[in-house]
Structure formats: structure tokens, C-alpha cells
Amino acid sequence: MSALPHAAGPFLDFGRLLRRFGFAVAPEQVSGFMQAVTLLGPRSMADIREAALATLAPPPDRRDEFEAHFQSHFYGDTSAVIEGDADEETRIKDDGGSDQEEIEEVSQQEGGELSSGAEQLSMRDFQRDDDRLTGFQRKLASALPARRSFRTVRTHARGKLDLRRSLREIVSADGDVPSPLLRRRQTVPRKLLMLIDVSGSMKLHTADYLKLAHAAVQGGDRVEIFTFGTRLTRITSALRIRDRDQALARAAALVDDWDGGTRMGPTLLAFLSVPRFSAFARGAAVVILSDALERGDHAELETAMRRLSARAFRLSLATPLAGDPRFRPATAALRAILPVLDDLVDGSSLAGLTDFILSLARPAPAAAVIWKRVS
Amino acid sequence: MTEVNADTVATSPEAVAQHLAASRYLADESLATAIFLAIRLGKPLLLEGAPGVGKTEAAKAIASLLGRDLVRLQCYEGIDAAHALYEWNYQRQLLAIRHAGDKEIDIYDDRFLIARPLLQVLRAPEQRVLLVDEIDRSDHEFEALLLEFLSDFQISIPERGTIRAAAQPIVILTSNRTRELAEALRRRCVYHWIGYPDAEREAAIIMLRAGDVAQATARAVAAAVRTIRARPLAKPPGIAEAVEWANAATILEKGGSPWPEAFRRAIGVLIKDEEDLSYIAPELSQIVEEALA
């Protein structure tokens, strides 16, 4: 093996620099980069930049950052390294990113605060809630609504002829036709998407909700959990940790907007505007855990809910306020979104919620019909 | 179609851009570079971008630039090997067995094999270009299968053995980015993110693609569409929609509607979402007038 020519150094270093800033750059990509530069001439710096973009493949949402690193590395222009700008828009945080460690440090106290709150709350009927969650976790996978998959499974009754396997049988049986082999379209559980309100008005319930979310992630196959307040945070992978306390502490550390205000409309719109996230909602059972107390204008909330319901298989809102028997969907925001809701249910107790989620597969009249009957 | 050697066409990014323009596709410099690199490095080309920026068109243009047939594999949720690789024609096999009687017959012969897109390309890599469209719609399992195919360019058929490509086929993948693709797939490809073109290039594209649209109209459409895309719409209009809009407005204008009015009345071909339409309607006159100025 011969040593690399001196001129190749900067390209190799650029790959290392990117890796240090959390870009996934494989060795073969760096060698591809150098090959590309050779192929192109290179006649100018623009050629090197194009080659870097094409072979190192920075994700489109980190393109600006990539350009800044390119500038600083090849032009020595360090002022170009920019940090994420202060924003008007709803911040979105997707866990599993490279910035995880730093965040954990920042919001340690908040996580502590939360868990002490959780202890207080669950003192009452800790044991019973625990059993309930375990049961919920066990039953969830089979209780979720199902859809027919494209794939097929072998079956002995009620199915279509499996020609491929039958033919093999026929050939091996010398042209005899033994009993035909059948196959049937498989059914797979739908996705479950839970959006949890962590604003101040929901303070009493968030701890329970997170426990529920943890049980759901553990029990279900394709479950996604987001929290929203003034920001949107994806906490699914934190909740994948089996140990509940550890998982909840991790999730609590991820969320930055505990007990703040709610901007439900804008955050839900932000959720829908990220294609990767809104794809979670497609064909899924969507459960929003919130009191839907949207201050000010609810036009955005209405738009967001309509779009969500157009994507989702079933859109449900569980509000702790409905625990009160005198509750009626009377606020302007609730009245506006009631027509697009499939369910508007009581979210004040774990018992009610687990039963409700386990019943998602069974058909029920639309929320508007039920609440019309009540009032 | 006349066959062309890939390396003689792709001598430089500029040459690629020129050839693409000859097949009525205007690529910007960085797309031309990505295509050039993909052809010369022999790697698959992964094109990502919003719907309607011309990803599939780019693949068609590349096929015609190389003088090859385009084999398209449209992905969807639940696509499996039988739809991407090959399938046996069971009915024919059964008939053949019955027909053969006592004679010996090879039921795994070529005539019983239905070649699906990946196998089709593998058999004639010099005459075909493979387009794997909207890969983000398929499942993870299929992505893994594709990854295997893209690294070795071979398919194993249990009854027949392994089929290898005689030469490295040219493969183009497109994605709308509705979900994140596997890192391994991105790594293996030459990557290009197609954005919306700038107003000038879009005007040129409209001139090239639309029937007979005046240059002033094309410019105005490009400017207006650019403004409209900056709004938070559920479905921002793509390039094809812009071309349609220019066409429709021209037809209406010939039918007797004055200019700003013709644009307004033809808006249905540009924005195809009721909510977006009602969102943009109050501003539309102003946007059109500014664009016409």
C-alpha cells in the first residue's frame, strides 16, 4: 500500500471534520469524494464543492451547516460557521440526534423536578396503576386496529391458492395433485401515534401520560410518541429503554418546554410540515392527550386537526377535563374541532385511557354524534 | 434507439448539461455534475426533492441522453421481491407439464420466467437504465433488498443459480423524503438534492416545455410561482404545474380574457388543493400584477 499523495490531505481532513460535527461520513464516501475531485479536474473550488455535495451527501436540512464547514475548511473562513438562528417558528426536536448529550446536561434539574412530581402523584394507587400498565402493555399489540398487509402467510383454510408452493408439491409428487396449499393476506397492526401535551395546564397528568406512553412503546410494534407545548419533541427512542424510570428520566431530559404555555395549533402544524413525521400519522390511530385549551385564535388548530384527521385512520382527543360529568365541548376551539374528531374521551385517569386505547379497533360513533346526544 | 457508450457522452459536466438540454431537460450545474459523477464513478444516483421538481423527468432525460430504454420500478408500501426481481409463470408451467406427458421438460426454463424491472436491467445493462421511483414509499425490508442488489448487481434465483450483470448498469433512485432513507443507501449513491429552480431557469423550462407561450408570459409565471411557493401551502406547485398554468393562461388569453384575468381564471391548474386555493385567493391579484410588472 502506498502513502496518499500530499495533496489528498485536505480532502481526508474534511471528512474527519464532518464526522466530528456529527455528519455520517463513511470511508468509502471520502474515497468517492477524492475520486470525484480527480474526475472533475478540478478546475475550480466550485468543482470541489459539487463533488463534496454529491458524494458526502449531507442531509438537506443540514445543508447550510455543511456549506459553512466547507467554507471554513477550504477557505479558512471561520466566521462562516453559523449556529442555528433564533427562530420565530416552532422548534422541532428529534431525539437520537447527535446533540443529545449536551441537552441532557442542560435540563437535569427539570427532569428531577418531574420525577418527584411523579412520585407524589402515583403514591395513591401505585400498585394498581402498575398492574394496569403491565396488562395494557401485554394486550396492546393484539388490540390495535389492523390493516391488511401486502404480504401473505401460509394457511390451512380460508385463503387463495398458493401457486408457487403448490407447483413444487405437484412436481415432487410426480404430477399428482395433492391437496392444494393456500395462503392468505396477512394483517398487521396499525401504527399508534400519541401526542402528549406537556403544558402547565396539564401538569397533573403528564407523569401518568408518560408512563402510559412508555408502556405503549414497550408493548406495541410501531408506536410513536411526541410531546408538545410550545415546542415539538420526539421522545420515542428514549422510551424504548426497557426500565421505566430510566426511560422516563431520559424522556424528561429531552423535553425543554415543561409546564409552559400551549401553542397546540402551531406545534401540530409544525408536526405535519415535517414529511417524516406526518408520514407517521398516515393510516395510524392518532391519540392526542390534551385539554385543547388553545388561547387566542384557534384557526390554526382547526386546520391542523383537519389535516391530521385526513391522514389518520382514527383521530381521538383525550382530555382530562372530560373526567367531570358536567363537561361539555363548549369552548370555541373544541366546538371547531369536534366535527373532525373520531373520539373525544375522558383522559383524567389511567384506567379510562388504557381501556380506551385497547378499544381503538372497535368501531364507535363519531365524537360529534355522541356529544350531541349528551347535551 | 442508438446505443451510446456512457463514457463518450459524459466527458465533462458541461457536456452532460448540453446533452440533457438536447433532450429538453435543463439541468443546473450541480445536477449535471452529479449525473456526470454517477456515470463515471459507476455509482447509483439518488435524487431527492419535493414533489414536482422533475426527478423522474431527470431520469428520463438521462436515459435518452445515453440512448437507452428506461425501466421503471415504482415503489409502494408492500412491494416485494416478486414485483421487483422475478416471478415464475405458474400457469404456463402447469400447462407445460400436462402437455409434455411422458417427455422430460425443464419447467425452470427462460420462457417460464417473468423478468421484473431489476432482472430486466441485469440482463441488458448496456441497453437499459433503471429508475427506482419514490423509494421512500417502500418498506425497510425492500430497501435492504435493493441495497443488496445495488452493491453486487446480481440476483439469485434458487432454481437457476445466480445471474450477474455483464456490465455496471446505470441506476437512478428518487425519493420525496417522506421518510428518512437508510444511511447505507445514501452512502452507496451519488446524492443530489433537487430544489426548485430560480425564476430565470424556470422561465426557460416553461418556454421549452409549453406549447407556444410568449417569453413575457413565461417570465411572469415563473415569478408568480416563486412567490406562491414561498407561502405555507399544503401542496406547493411543482414545475409541471407552472408549465400547465402558462399554457392554460395563454389559451384563455387567446379566447379573449385580458392578462391578469387569464392568470386568475387558470389558477385551478396551478393549485389543486381547496384549502390552499382559499388561502392564496385574496393575494392572487397582487402576486400576478407584481409578476407581470
**Residue partners of A241: CB distance under 8 A and separation at least 6:** A247, A250
pLDDT digits (tens, 9 = 90+) for B179-235: 667 778 888 899 999 988 988 999 999 998 887 888 888 999 999 999 998 887 778
What does the alpha-carbon distance between residue A260 and residue A253 come to, in Å, rounded to a whole number?
15
* Residue among B49, B76, B42, B71 at smallest CA distance from B59: B71
What chain B residue is nearest to A26 in terms of C-alpha separation?
A: B187
* Low-confidence winner among A41-45, A65-69, A92-96, B114-118 (lowest mean pLDDT): A92-96
How open is the CA angle A308-A281-A224, to the nearest 5 degrees?
A: 130
Percent of chain B with pLDDT over 70: 98
Give the per-residue pLDDT at A79: 58
pLDDT of B41 above 80: yes
As a whole number, mean pLDDT of residues B107-112 equals 87
In this predicted structure, the answer to whether residue A303 has a pLDDT above a threshold of 60 is yes
Same domain, B149 and B276: no
pLDDT at A176 over 50: yes
pTM: 0.65
DSSP tag of B268:
G
The pLDDT score that the predictor gives to residue A90 is 60
CATH number reported for the structural domain that contains residue B179 in this entry: 3.40.50.300
Whether residues B216 and B266 fall in one domain: yes
β-pair partners for A197: A228
The 3-state secondary structure of A170-232, one letter per residue: HHHCCCCCCCCCEEEEEEEECCEEEEEECCHHHHHHHHHHHHHHHHHHHHCCCEEEEEECCCE
pLDDT over 60 at A247, yes or no: yes
Establish if B95 belongs to a structural domain: no
Domain count, chain B: 2
User: What are the tens digits of pLDDT across the range A59-91?
Assistant: 777 788 898 889 888 887 665 554 444 344 566
In this prediction, residue A126 carries a pLDDT of 55
What pLDDT does residue A46 have? 87
In this model, does residue B80 exceed pLDDT 90? no
All residues of chain A having their beta carbon less than 8 Å from the beta carbon of residue B175 are none
Has residue A276 got a pLDDT over 80?
no
pLDDT at B132: 95
Say if residue B75 is exposed, middle or buried (CB neighbours under 10 Å; 0-12, 13-18, 19+). buried
The per-residue pLDDT for A278 is: 80
State how far the Cα of A88 lies from the Cα of A11, in Å rounded to an integer: 37
pLDDT band at A2 (very low <50, low <70, confident <90, very high): low
On the question of pLDDT at B118 being above 90, the answer is yes
Q: Which of B194, B218, B253 is the last residue of a domain?
A: B194
- Count Cβ–Cβ pairs < 8 Å, chain A vs chain B: 90
Topology of domain A92-143+190-374, per CATH? Answer: Rossmann fold (3.40.50)
Q: Is there a contact between B88 and A164 if contact means CB atoms under 8 Å apart?
A: yes
Residues B13 and B67 in one domain: yes
The mean per-residue pLDDT over the stretch B246-258 comes to 88
Which amino acid is located at A367 in the chain? A
Are A291 and A264 in contact by the 8 Å Cβ rule? The answer is no
Residue B172 and residue B226 in one domain? no
Q: Where are the alpha helices (DSSP H) in chain A?
A: 9-20, 27-40, 45-56, 63-70, 100-106, 108-122, 126-143, 163-172, 203-219, 236-239, 244-254, 264-273, 275-281, 299-311, 332-337, 350-358, 367-374
**A45 within 8 A of A77, measured Cβ to Cβ:** no
Domain ranges, residue B216: 199-292
Residue-level pLDDT at A279: 80
Q: Which of B145, B171, B194 is the last residue of a domain?
A: B194
Which residues are paired to B156 by β-bridges? B162
Q: Residue B185's CB: how many other CB atoms inside 10 A?
A: 20
Q: Which of B47, B177, B181 to mutate to test the interface with A (most CBs of A within 10 A)?
A: B177
Burial call A138-164: b when 16+ CB within 10 Å, e when fewer: eebeebbbeeeeeeeeeeeeebeebbe
Nearest to A226 by CA among A171, A286, A180, A172: A286
pLDDT at B171 over 90: yes
CB A373 within 8 A of CB A338: no
A177 touching chain B per CB within 8 A: no
pLDDT band at residue A125, thresholds of 50, 70 and 90? low
- For residues B240 and B278, membership in a common domain is answered with yes
Measure CB to CB from residue B37 to each of A39, A163, A167 and give the nearest one: A39
Nearest to B291 by CA among B223, B215, B217: B223
Alpha-carbon separation of residue A7 from A55, A219, A332, B66, B229 (angstroms) = 19, 55, 67, 34, 43
Q: Tell whether B133 and B190 lie within a shared domain.
A: yes
| pLDDT tier at A220, thresholds 50, 70, 90 | confident
- Give residue A214's pLDDT: 93
**What are the residue ranges spanned by the domains of chain A?**
6-80, 92-143+190-374, 151-187
pLDDT band at A116 (very low <50, low <70, confident <90, very high): very low
Which of B86, B114, B191 should be substituted to probe chain A, the one whose Cβ sees the most A Cβ atoms within 10 Å? B191
Spatial separation of the C-alpha atoms in residues A254 and A236, rounded to whole Å = 11
Closest residue to A276, CB basis, from B30, B97, B178: B178
Claim to verify: residue B13 and residue B139 sit in the same structural domain: yes
B204 and B165 housed in the same domain: no
Question: Which pLDDT score, from 0 to 100, does residue A78 have?
Answer: 61
Whether B282 and B183 map to the same domain: the answer is no
| A26 close to B (CB below 8 A) | yes
- Which residue of chain B comes nearest to A276, CA vs CA? B179
- pLDDT reported for residue A117: 41
The predicted structure's pLDDT at residue B47: 94
Indicate the DSSP class of residue B267.
Answer: G
- A288 sits in which H/E element: strand A285-289
- Verify whether the Cβ–Cβ distance A26 to B192 is below 8 Å: no
| Amino acid found at B219 | R
Per-residue pLDDT at A315: 93
Pick left, alpha or beta for residue A292 (phi over 0 → left; psi -120 to 50 → alpha; otherwise beta): left
Distance CA A119, CA A122 (A): 5
CB-CB under 8 Å, A171 with B107: yes
Choosing from B194, B222, B249, the residue where a domain stops is: B194
Same domain, B226 and B188: no
In a domain, B1, yes or no: no
On the 0-12 / 13-18 / 19+ scale of CB atoms within 10 A, A354 is: buried
- pLDDT over 90 at A324, yes or no: no
Question: Does residue B212 share a domain with residue B154?
Answer: no
The C-alpha atoms of residue A60 and residue B76 are separated, in whole angstroms, by: 23
Give mean pLDDT, residues B70-88: 87
Say yes or no: B261 and B131 in one domain.
no
Interface check A57 vs B, CB under 8 A: yes
- CA–centroid distance for A255 within its chain: 14
Residue A375's pLDDT band (cuts 50, 70, 90): low
pLDDT tens per residue, range B254-283: 888 888 888 888 888 998 888 788 888 888
In this prediction, residue B4 has a pLDDT band, given cuts at 50, 70 and 90, of low
Say whether residue A67 is in contact with chain B using an 8 A CB cutoff. no
Task: Give the model's pLDDT for residue B225.
Answer: 92
Q: Pick A167's closest partner by Cβ from B34, B38, B93.
A: B93
